[in-house]
């Protein structure tokens, strides 16, 4: 384990909204190449943890490192799919256009996207099954379809670390399987994927790494070692009987 590269390291992170701490003294190490679930009840601070790793929220204490350096220096290594995109849904733009925005980072300032970027974006739309909708204005997509467009946008960013805040929220069973297969593909390609996940039943099947969070970090590690009743009870406060496939 010590030989593995650490993709994300969080040290003593404390975050507060209006002086009320919602994350207490979090320490976390996520090794490269895992597909990790963050689980915890509503309001546990899962979204807040991701947002503070990405510098969207300033912590009151602690630090975060992406491959050993602050996030500001590693932006291009990271792609993020927010829980509910804080985008302007009425913006005059199509699904394809939104996905193309994911390629802007590689282009840098001033340079415009060309055929190569367009091709990559179409492929990503194809992967998430949204190709037929490429010219649709984004507000005219259903919630699950919007979610898939944003997943496609993250895919074209070609990052090393992916953060996804509840990507399965409001998507149907077929799409859920399609998405998890894409995530598993990413892991196979050596990427690190962090997913906020609510369906405890599917954790062992989908993920190989898990973090239990409820204001404090309860546990983090391989699913087969730590995904057990004890940790679930500590996190959710009531006794959970989840069959863990071994």
Partner 1 sequence: MDAQLEIQLIATVVAIACAIPGVFLVLRKMALISDAISHSILPGIVIGFFITEDLNSPLLILLAAVTGVITVVLVEAIQKTGLVKEDTAIGLVFPALFSIGVILIAKNANDVHLDVDAVLLGELAFAPFDRLIISGIDVGPKSLWVMGGILLATVGMLFAFFKELKVSTFDAGLSAALGFSPVVLHYGLMTVSSVTVVGAFEAVGAVLVVALMIAPAATAYLLTSDLKKMLVLSVIFGVTSAIAGYWMAHFLDASISGSMTTVLGLVFLTVYLFAPSKGLIAVMYRQKQQRTEVSLLTFLLHLNNHDEESERRVQHLNEHINWQKVRSKTVLDLAQKNNLIAIENDLVTLTSKGKEFTDLALEYIITNKDEKIEHMKDDFFLFRG
| Residues in touch with Mg ion (CB under 5 A) | 47, 83
Q: With binding defined as CB under 6 A, does residue 89 bind ligand ATP?
A: no
Q: With binding defined as CB under 6 A, does residue 223 bind ligand ATP?
A: no
Cβ proximity to partner 1, 17 vs 237, nearer residue: 17
> In the bound complex, what is the minimum distance in angstroms from residue 169's beta carbon to partner 1?
15
Q: With binding defined as CB under 8 A, does residue 222 bind partner 1?
A: no
Cβ proximity to ligand ATP, 48 vs 235, nearer residue: 48
Query: Hey, how many other C-beta atoms are within 10 angstroms of the C-beta on 243?
Result: 7
Cβ proximity to Mg ion, 118 vs 216, nearer residue: 216
Helix (H, G, I), strand (E, B) or coil at 168: coil
With CB atoms as reference, the residue minimizing the distance to Mg ion is 47
Q: With binding defined as CB under 6 A, does residue 167 bind ligand ATP?
A: no
Cβ proximity to partner 1, 57 vs 215, nearer residue: 57
d(C-alpha 62, C-alpha 84), whole Å = 26
Residue 132 binding target from Mg ion, partner 1, ligand ATP, none, CB below 5 to 8 Å by type = partner 1
Return the range that interacts with partner 1 (CB under 8 A); candidates 23-31, 35-43, 132-140, 229-237: 132-140
Please report where in the chains the tokens 């985008």 appear, as a residue. 87
> In the bound complex, what is the minimum distance in angstroms from residue 25's beta carbon to ligand ATP?
15
Q: With binding defined as CB under 6 A, does residue 84 bind ligand ATP?
A: no
Cβ proximity to ligand ATP, 45 vs 102, nearer residue: 45
Q: With binding defined as CB under 8 A, does residue 190 bind partner 1?
A: no
162 bridge partner residues:
79, 193
d(C-alpha 32, C-alpha 16), whole Å = 28
Could you tell me which of 127, 135, 29, 62 has the C-alpha nearest to residue 92?
A: 135
The tokens for 238 are 């009531």
Residue 190 binding target from Mg ion, ligand ATP, partner 1, none, CB below 5 to 8 Å by type = none
CB neighbours of 181 closer than 8 A, spacing ≥ 6? none
Burial of 58-96, coded b for 16+ CB within 10 Å and e otherwise, reads: ebeebebbbbeeebeebeebbbbbbbebeeeeeeebbbb
Return the range that interacts with partner 1 (CB under 8 A); candidates 25-33, 60-68, 76-84, 198-206: 76-84
Which residues from 95-114 bind partner 1, rule CB under 8 A?
98, 101-102, 104-105, 107-110, 112-113
Fill in the DSSP letter of residue 138.
G
Q: What angle do CA 144, 146, 149 make, to 5 degrees?
A: 115
Q: Residues 86, 121: contact at Cβ < 8 Å?
A: no
């Amino acid at each position: 384990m010590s030989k593995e590269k650490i993709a994300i390291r969080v040290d003593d992170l404390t975050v507060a909204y209006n002086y009320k701490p919602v994350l207490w003294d979090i320490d976390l190490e996520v090794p490269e190449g895992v597909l990790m679930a963050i689980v915890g009840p509503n309001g546990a601070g899962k979204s807040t943890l991701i947002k503070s790793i990405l510098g969207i929220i300033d912590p009151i204490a602690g630090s975060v490192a992406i491959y050993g350096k602050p996030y500001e220096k590693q932006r291009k290594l990271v792609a993020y799919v927010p829980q509910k995109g804080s985008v302007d849904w009425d913006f005059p733009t199509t699904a394809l256009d939104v996905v193309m925005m994911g390629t802007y980072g590689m282009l840098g300032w001033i340079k415009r996207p060309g055929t190569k970027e367009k091709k990559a974006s179409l492929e990503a739309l194809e992967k998430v099954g949204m190709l037929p909708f490429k010219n649709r204005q984004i507000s005219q997509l259903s919630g699950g379809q919007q979610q898939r467009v944003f997943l496609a946008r993250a895919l074209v960013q070609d990052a090393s670390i992916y953060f996804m805040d509840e990507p399965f929220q409001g998507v149907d069973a077929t799409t859920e399987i399609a998405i998890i297969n894409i995530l598993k593909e990413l892991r196979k390609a050596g990427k690190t994927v962090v997913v906020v996940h609510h369906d405890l039943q599917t954790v062992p099947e989908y993920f190989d790494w898990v973090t239990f969070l409820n204001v404090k970090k309860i546990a983090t590690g391989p699913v087969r070692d730590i995904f057990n009743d004890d940790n679930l009870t500590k996190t959710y406060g009531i006794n959970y009987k989840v069959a863990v496939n071994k």
